[in-house]
Structures are given as C-alpha cells and as structure tokens.
C-alpha cells in the first residue's frame, strides 16, 4: 500500500485549492473543508471532500489510514528561495552586524558571500551532501515538502557544477523535492574585481551552456544590486539564460532601489525575490504580468532592515510567496514558523495570506502550481498534519513548529510523536 493513504476526520482540511498563483484578495480564500478527508493512490490525490463523502466511495482496508480528528490538514509547504547547499559558517559576521556593520560593508572587505565561496570550493561532494541532507531533515520537520536550492557559492565552473550535482544527488536521496537554480552571478569573485562584464561573459558563455546541456538547473537567477551586478549586466545574463531554456528568477531591489522588479517584469521572470526597496511602478508591473513576488522576512529580520511592503504588494493585486532564504550569512534559518510570525506581525500579511504564500503561491514561484501546493485531485500527495485544530496556530505558537506529521507522495515521512523521519 505504498503511496496509498486515506486521511480522514480533519477538523480543517485547508485545501488552498487551485492550479495557479492567487493574486491580491484571492490570497485570503483557503477553501477549507470541515471534517475533511483526502485519498491518495500511488502518490496522487484522487479524492477530496468531507469524510462522509469520501469514505462512502473507498474501501479503507486497502489503504493506510490516518485519523486526524481535532487536527488541521494542509498542503506541504514550499520553500521557494534558499541557498541550503554550502560549506562554512559565518557566525562572526552576525556579531559584526550587531556592532553596526552593514551587509555590504562586510561583503566589500572580503566577508559575506565570498567567504562562503572559499569554504564551498574546498568542500568535498560528500561533505556537501551530508550537510545538505541534515538541513533537508530540518526543513522536513517544519513541513517543507519542496524546496528551491540555488548554487552561487562557487563563482567558478567547477564549484557551481559541484553544488548543482549535490542537489541532484540529494533530490534522489531525500523525500523533500529540490528545484535547482543556477546563481553563478551571486557575487563578483576576487579574481574578477573591476572586470564584472568579463565575469558575466564567463558565466553566460562558458558555464551556463554546460549546465543547460547537462540539465543541472531549471532556473537562472542573478543578484541584481548596486555594487554587485547592474541592470544591464543582469539583463544580458538572463537573456542568454532564456535562450538556453532556463526559466528566470531575480534577486531584485533587496538593498537599493535599482529597478530589479521592473527588469523581472520586462523579461517575464517566474518570480522576483526580496523586493525590500521595490518601486510602486515595479510592483504594479509584477502584478500586471502575473509574476510572483517572493518576500523573505527572515532576511530583513536578521539584517535589521525594513521589511518588504507585504500589505501594499498584496493590495496592488500581486501574487506573494514567502520563503526562508536559508543561507549561511543573511538568514541562517529553516524555520517556517518564524517566517509566518514575521510576515503576520511585521508585514501586515494576514494568516490566510501567509498560508497561501507558503503553499500554492510558493508552488507557483517554482513553476509547480499545476502539480503541488494545494490539496486537489490530480496533484501529488504532499500533505502536512498539525498538532492543533486550526491553521491559525502556526504563527500563534511563536517560532515553534506545529507540524506533527508529513506525508510525501502518499507516504508518511515524518512523525514528531513517534520520531519517524524519512
């Protein structure tokens, strides 16, 4: 009965029903079924409804059954922006920031991304697989069933490919599905300082074609930021990526208002991420083009920066996703509960909108809304069961995971109570 399961008697079956991103006001509609049930056969959802409706059509003896009376059931969370494969830690930089040094100041004196690059270049594949596996285990315990992972800690051909190969291997080894993104233009390496255009040429003409040929990444991303890569450089790289068949993402307007949101709209990116300083014009263009605005409140929190204008962005009819941005520098955290509480307390995003942002809209941010992100017939059986009767406990139990069980492809892969994992 592997991959075959009935989940019944859910106090709330929070379906987040839909096959595309929800924009603006539509983010508030979670399509909740009281006393709900779900049937999964061979890893795919085949029935959704009230318990009485569903059980009247199936023989329970042929399924693994979980009785969720008094508990809420939701789609698995999608963490749509992370940098979880890396070596080395930067705890010292956290203390420097507490003393008042900015992220860019630390980066400009050889810390930041470049510091992680040195450690990741030296790390073996085996070490990266082991550390990545542990981080995936942590994500799974928070209810994450799909994660996007970026390269970008190599800044050279060998290590960028190594990071993506590690993610490819982990995708086969671990229940959490990994969506791979090439972020070779994450920073300017020391040997290209003052020759940023040459570095873009190197990534576009030498590294990216190999990654495309080997199908090592689905997306291409770029850190479009003052002092890193200009709008013109970012556009040139992304246009080349598009030619090679990559879908596009952009680190946009994180530290300064450069016009990254507008560039994302112009190029038809799948998502524009960060957006702390995005202009009204850029936000309007994202909404018009249906591009997902991926907001990362954990990073603003960690850097003590103003949060992205979550309430305003949703009110402008944007589709908003939320993600952890798990990375060794600006936000070393896999905590979905932290993201929920920051979004609801400090970005004026409602609890319902936050649920949407981490389910169906997170799926849309990785171009998977047709197959994951909601509890709908035909979608993959990726489901979480909370310890409590309502989704509203997620931010209320501040910083603590309410996830009791995780179902992946119709199989139980995490159970907090019985210590079952994977």
Distance between CA atoms of residues 369 and 358, nearest Å: 12
Positive or negative, the Cα torsion across 18, 372, 340, 268? negative
Distance between CA atoms of residues 219 and 292, nearest Å: 14
For residue range 393-422, what is the model confidence (pLDDT) as tens digits? 999 999 999 999 999 999 999 999 876 666
Confidence band for 94, pLDDT divided at 50, 70 and 90 = confident
Say yes or no to pLDDT of 77 above 90. yes
Mean pLDDT value across residues 304-308: 95
Residue 215: per-residue pLDDT: 98
First to last CA, the chain: 17
Residue 370: per-residue pLDDT: 98
**155, 187 in Cβ contact below 8 A?**
yes
For residue range 215-227, what is the model confidence (pLDDT) as tens digits? 999 999 999 999 9
Cα radius of gyration rounded to whole Å, the chain: 21
Distances (CA, A) of 321 to 78, 294, 295, 360, 373: 9, 5, 6, 8, 11
Q: Give the pair of three-digit tokens for residue 133.
A: 């596996």
Say yes or no to pLDDT of 108 above 80. no
Q: Choose between 283 and 89: higher pLDDT.
A: 283
Q: What is the domain partition of the chain in residue ranges?
A: 5-75+374-421, 78-365
- Largest Cα span, the chain: 69
For residue range 111-143, what is the model confidence (pLDDT) as tens digits? 678 889 999 999 999 999 999 999 999 999 999
Mean pLDDT value across residues 253-270: 97
31: left (phi over 0), alpha (psi -120 to 50) or beta: left
- The domain covering 5-75+374-421 belongs, at the CATH homologous superfamily level, to Urease, subunit C, domain 1 (2.30.40.10)
Say yes or no to pLDDT of 23 above 80. yes
Name the CATH architecture for the domain at 78-365. Answer: Alpha-Beta Barrel (3.20)
Mean pLDDT value across residues 279-294: 98
Within 10 Å of residue 95's Cβ, how many Cβ atoms?
A: 9
Mean pLDDT value across residues 183-187: 96
**266, 287 in Cβ contact below 8 A?**
no
Within 10 Å of residue 292's Cβ, how many Cβ atoms?
A: 29
């Amino acid at each position: 009965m592997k991959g075959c399961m009935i989940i019944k008697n859910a106090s709330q079956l929070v379906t987040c029903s839909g096959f595309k991103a929800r924009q603006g006001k539509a983010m508030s509609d979670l399509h909740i079924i009281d006393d709900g049930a779900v049937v999964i056969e061979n890893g795919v959802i085949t029935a959704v409804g009230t318990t009485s409706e569903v059980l009247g059509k199936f023989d329970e003896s042929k399924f693994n059954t979980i009785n969720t009376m008094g508990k809420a059931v939701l789609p698995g969370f999608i963490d749509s922006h992370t940098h979880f494969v890396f070596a080395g830690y930067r705890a010292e930089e956290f203390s420097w920031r507490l003393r008042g040094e900015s992220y860019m100041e630390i980066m400009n004196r050889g810390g930041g991304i470049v510091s992680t690059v040195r450690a990741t270049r030296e790390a073996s594949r085996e070490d990266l697989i082991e550390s990545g596996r542990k981080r995936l285990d942590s994500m799974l315990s928070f209810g994450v069933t799909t994660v996007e992972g970026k390269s970008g800690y190599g800044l050279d051909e060998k290590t960028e490919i190594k990071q993506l190969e590690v993610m490819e291997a982990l995708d086969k080894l671990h229940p959490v599905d990994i969506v791979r993104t090439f972020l070779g233009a994450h920073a300017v390496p020391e040997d290209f300082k003052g020759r940023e255009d040459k570095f873009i040429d190197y990534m576009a003409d030498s590294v990216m074609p190999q990654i495309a040929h080997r199908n090592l990444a689905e997306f291409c991303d770029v850190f479009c930021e003052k002092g890193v890569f200009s709008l013109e450089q970012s556009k040139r790289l992304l246009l080349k990526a598009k030619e090679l068949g990559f879908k596009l993402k952009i680190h946009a307007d994180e530290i300064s208002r450069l016009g990254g949101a507008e560039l994302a709209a112009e190029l038809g990116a799948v998502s524009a991420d960060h957006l702390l300083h995005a202009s009204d014009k850029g936000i309007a263009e994202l909404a018009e083009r249906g591009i997902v605005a991926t907001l990362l409140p954990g990073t603003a929190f960690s850097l003590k920066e103003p949060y992205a204008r979550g309430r305003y962005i949703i009110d402008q009819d944007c589709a908003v996703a939320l993600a952890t941005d798990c990375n060794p520098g600006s936000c070393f955290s896999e905590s979905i509960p932290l993201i929920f509480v920051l979004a609801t307390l400090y970005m004026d995003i409602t609890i319902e909108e936050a649920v949407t942002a981490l389910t169906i809209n997170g799926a849309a941010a990785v171009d998977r809304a047709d197959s994951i992100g909601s509890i709908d017939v035909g979608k993959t059986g990726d489901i979480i069961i909370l310890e409590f009767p309502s989704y509203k406990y997620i931010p209320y139990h501040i910083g603590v995971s309410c996830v009791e069980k995780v179902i992946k492809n119709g199989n139980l892969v995490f159970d907090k109570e019985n210590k079952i994992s994977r």
